[in-house]
Amino acid sequence: MAVTVETAAMQAVPRRRRRVARYLPALLIAPSVIMLLCLIGFPLVFALKNSFFFWNLQTSPVPLQYVGLANYELALTASAFGASLVNTIILTVTGTAIEFFLGFAIALLLATQLKGMSVSRALLIMPTTIAPIVAGFLFRYMYDPTGGLLTWLANALFLPVPAEGLLGSPNTALLSILIADVWQWTPFFAIVLYAGLLSVPKEVIEAARLDRASFAAMVFRIKLPFVLKTALIILLLRFMQLFNTFDLVLVLTRGGPGTSSRTLGYTLYQQGLIDFNIGIASATTWMIVLIINALVGLYIFFAFRKWEW
Amino acid sequence: MASLQFERIGKTFDEQVIAVANVSFEVEDGEFVVLVGPSGCGKTTLLRMVAGLESLTAGTLRLDAVDVSDTDPRDRDVAMVFQNYALYPHMTVYQNMAFGLQQRKVPAAEIENIVHRTARTLDLDKLLKRKPGALSGGQRQRVAMGRAIVRNPAVFLMDEPLSNLDAKLRVQMRSELKLLRARLGVTTLYVTHDQVEAMTMGDRVAVMKPIDNPGETNLQQVDTPQTLYKQPVNIFVASFIGSPAMNFVRVRLAGGGDALTASIVGTPISYDVPAGYLAKHPGLADYTDKEVIAGIRPEFFEFAALSNATHKLPLDVDVLVTEIIGPDSYLHFDLPTPPVHVGTSDEPADATLTQPADTQSTRFTARVDPEAAAEASGTARITLDLARVHYFDPASELAIT
């Protein structure tokens, strides 16, 4: 009798344990999934609902009236939308590209193990650690038309500086934002790609040297493939970040002059937090969400398609 | 096709660690030379210096009589097979093999021709579209070989190319490599720590030893495998070449003229050094009334029943362990003589087999006929072929000739 009881107990324990083991992954993931749903899902759904209502916080604390797609129509036809979409795409594409190539070049230099590289590495990461808003103010002073360092530097190099200042001219305002962003984020690419370059086996480099690899072949056919996965991911991250650029624009130009440096992020800010038009802001939010998801989807489809070795 | 000359080559890392010093020898055109030695003996460093991947801190390296000591690896016509193959993981087998040719601006049609031809000889033609990650160890090894071969270099450098393969594949690749090298006839420098590889593959073998004194040299002996085995120049080479390792024992010589008597220190065993041996090694007479170190290969022993020749020393030994390994068997026994310490092997195989607990006795290994060994237990009578014993100077460790 005692024997049967014992065997039954011994069987029961593993079975319970097995059931726990089966659901354990789901249980462990559940909190973060629920959190994500609350933090991302709820605001999105809330915004989607609001985008179909007329709701201005200056007139009412609650949505006033269902207006269908009128908010989308208004947002799209406003002259600022087209301009800010174009500005955003220019800023995002050129910014990501410049930061990547500069960063990769710096990473290659860092990986050469020359003297003083460890100090350089430590100094390099500093711009990225500064809050974007602070970096914005820093550049506002440096762009100052009378005493700014960059204005002075441009003058000294005989570069044409507009009389109204680099930030004041529609020709250079967006470029000035781009430069500030490149200054802040190139080190990020450099450090991450440098870490990637460290994963290139020494023997592979040596084999390539014995194969008489030219400088370009060494960089693009041997080293770049090793950091490609890392590069694709940080490019994606930076692309999404840059697409939502807002803080630099707010501090440097407020989207001006006119709409020459206005980004989608700034447009959104103006609609929601200056005009307090929650309906239109929600509609714009949803359009940005759709655009960036389409772009990222395309990117992932093409970039990660041949991802095997 | 090229010859290589090493002239007092040295390499010191960080101005303190001496890896290589005073290495001088020559590799003739088309010759296959194996660098062998325990780890830390500088063999890989020497190879990398030939490749140009390590700079020389002393000496001159000549490739076809041209000084290439400071030449960039890109400008030396050498190809290297790395221990871990160092294939380009993101390229297919074809691209791996073609890369070096593309960098040399060989026309595309010709590249395709060369790569396909080489792939056929290496049995890689079905794998050309695969990436290294999808290949087995032996296949990767062949791709690494192929990458070196397509370039048709003046010198091949191989850094333990077979060490990452399993035992069976290693033996197979060894013979394939031999065939390949017979067909190509390219000057080759081959590094290994495996003496069987060294002995079977090399036209000549260079035995190297770790050093810590800039006055010494790593290079102990460069000779054909048979010469290394039969006439080792010193105790290091004698103990490194041969498996199981040579037995060493102190003997005291007495007598004079053309009759020398040797007695094994600490034992009542003594014997007359054969006159024929003495005639060939006149230097031995200078050691009368002195101790020398005798080197006895395990195969110098035989079962008494199987021999009736002269110059054989009969020994009655207590067999401790008998190891029967197919065609061979090893008897282990102790003699009460103080052990001779030789610092060669960095991998003490089995401490209980190689070293008796008692510090006043020495363990011997005899390689004997397995049929008889199976019956041997307790006391066995074996004989030692006195005509083949090596003698070394105890101070300089050099062979006495």
Q: Which of B19, B50, B16, B20 is nearest to B33 (CA)?
A: B50
Residues of B in contact with A225 (CB under 8 A): 88, 90
Termini Cα distance of chain A: 59
A220 part of contact set with chain B, CB < 8 Å: no
Distance from CA of B103 to the nearest CA of A (A): 6
The answer to whether residues B232 and B238 touch, using CB atoms and an 8 Å cutoff, is: yes
Give helix B108-121 / helix B93-103 axis angle, nearest 10°. 130
Whether residue A160 has pLDDT greater than 60: yes
Nearest to A210 among B73, B102, B133 (CB): B73
Region A75-88 average pLDDT: 84
Question: What's the pLDDT score for residue B98?
Answer: 92
Chain A residue whose CA is closest to B79: A210
Collapsing DSSP to helix, strand or coil, B152 comes out as: coil
B306 compared with A87, residue with greater pLDDT: A87
Q: Which of B260, B362, B274, B361 is nearest to B313 (CA)?
A: B274
Mutate to test the interface with A, among B45, B48, B50, B53 (most CBs of A within 10 A): B53
Helix H or strand E encompassing A225 = helix A224-243
Question: What's the pLDDT score for residue B257?
Answer: 67
Question: What's the pLDDT score for residue A96?
Answer: 94
A1 compared with A245, residue with greater pLDDT: A245
Question: What's the pLDDT score for residue A263?
Answer: 87
Whether residue A5 has pLDDT greater than 60: no
| ipTM summary value | 0.80
Whether residue A31 has pLDDT greater than 90: yes
Q: Write down all domains in chain B, each with its CATH number in brackets.
A: 4-240 (3.40.50.300), 247-392 (no CATH)
Termini Cα distance of chain B: 37
Q: Which of A297, A286, A265 is nearest to A89 (CA)?
A: A265
B353 compared with B311, residue with greater pLDDT: B311
- Output DSSP code: residue B283: G
Q: How sure is the predictor about B226, in pLDDT bands with cuts at 50, 70 and 90?
A: very high
Residues of chain B with pLDDT > 90, as a percent, come to 24
Q: What is the CB neighbour count within 10 angstroms for residue B11? A: 22
A203 part of contact set with chain B, CB < 8 Å: yes
CA pseudo-torsion sign A50, A55, A56, A60: negative
B104-116 pLDDT per residue, tens: 889 999 999 999 9
Residue length of chain A:
309
Please report, as a single letter, which amino acid is at residue B247: N
Q: How sure is the predictor about B348, in pLDDT bands with cuts at 50, 70 and 90?
A: very low
A125-134 pLDDT per residue, tens: 888 888 888 8
The pLDDT mean for chain B works out to: 85
Distance from CA of B155 to the nearest CA of A (A): 12
Give helix A70-77 / helix A79-110 axis angle, nearest 10°. 70
Residues 128-187, chain B, touching A (beta carbon < 8 A) = 131, 133, 147, 151
The first and second tokens of residue B271, run together, are 């014997």
Give the range among A13-22, B161-170, B199-208 with minimum mean pLDDT.
A13-22
CA distances from A28 to A19, A24, A33, A185 (A): 14, 6, 10, 35
B88 part of contact set with chain A, CB < 8 Å: yes
Q: Which of B279, B177, B211, B213 is nearest to B45 (CA)?
A: B211
The answer to whether residues B378 and B319 touch, using CB atoms and an 8 Å cutoff, is: yes
* CATH class in words for A70-303: mainly alpha
Enumerate helices (H) and strands (E) in chain B, giving the number of each.
Answer: 11, 20
Distance from CA of A86 to the nearest CA of B (A): 37
CA distances from A245 to A116, B174, B184, B195, B310 (A): 34, 62, 63, 66, 98
Whether residue A11 has pLDDT greater than 70: no
Residues of chain A with pLDDT > 70, as a percent, come to 94
The answer to whether residues A252 and A246 touch, using CB atoms and an 8 Å cutoff, is: no
B19-53 pLDDT per residue, tens: 888 888 999 998 999 999 888 888 899 999 999 89
Q: How sure is the predictor about B349, in pLDDT bands with cuts at 50, 70 and 90?
A: very low
Question: What's the pLDDT score for residue A186?
Answer: 92
Residue contacts between A and B (CB atoms, under 8 Å): 65
Whether residue A1 has pLDDT greater than 60: no
CB within 8 Å: A211 and B84: no
Region A55-70 average pLDDT: 82
CB within 8 Å: A221 and B99: yes
CB within 8 Å: B80 and A222: no
Q: How sure is the predictor about B346, in pLDDT bands with cuts at 50, 70 and 90?
A: very low
Domain positions in chain A are 2-40, 70-303
Q: Which residue has the tokens 């055109």?
A: B29
CA pseudo-torsion sign A146, A147, A150, A154: positive
Distance from CA of B143 to the nearest CA of A (A): 13
Question: What's the pLDDT score for residue A307?
Answer: 60
Helix H or strand E encompassing B147 = helix B137-150
Q: Which long-range contacts (CB under 8 A, 24 or more apart) does A219-228 make?
A: A219/A108, A221/B99, A222/B88, A223/A108, A223/A197, A224/A104, A225/B88, A225/B90, A226/A196, A226/A197, A226/A199, A226/A200, A226/B90, A227/A104, A227/A107, A227/A193, A227/A196, A227/A197, A227/A199, A227/A200, A228/B90
The first and second tokens of residue A58, run together, are 């200056």
Nearest to A309 among B52, B89, B104 (CB): B89
The answer to whether residues B328 and B321 touch, using CB atoms and an 8 Å cutoff, is: no
Distance from CA of A121 to the nearest CA of B (A): 24
B157 compared with B381, residue with greater pLDDT: B157
Highest-scoring range by mean pLDDT, A127-131, A270-274, B204-208:
B204-208
Partners of B272 in the beta sheet?
B261
Region B301-310 average pLDDT: 66
Angle at the Cα of B397 from the Cα atoms of B395 and B399, rounded to 5 degrees: 125
Mutate to test the interface with B, among A212, A220, A224, A230 (most CBs of B within 10 A): A212
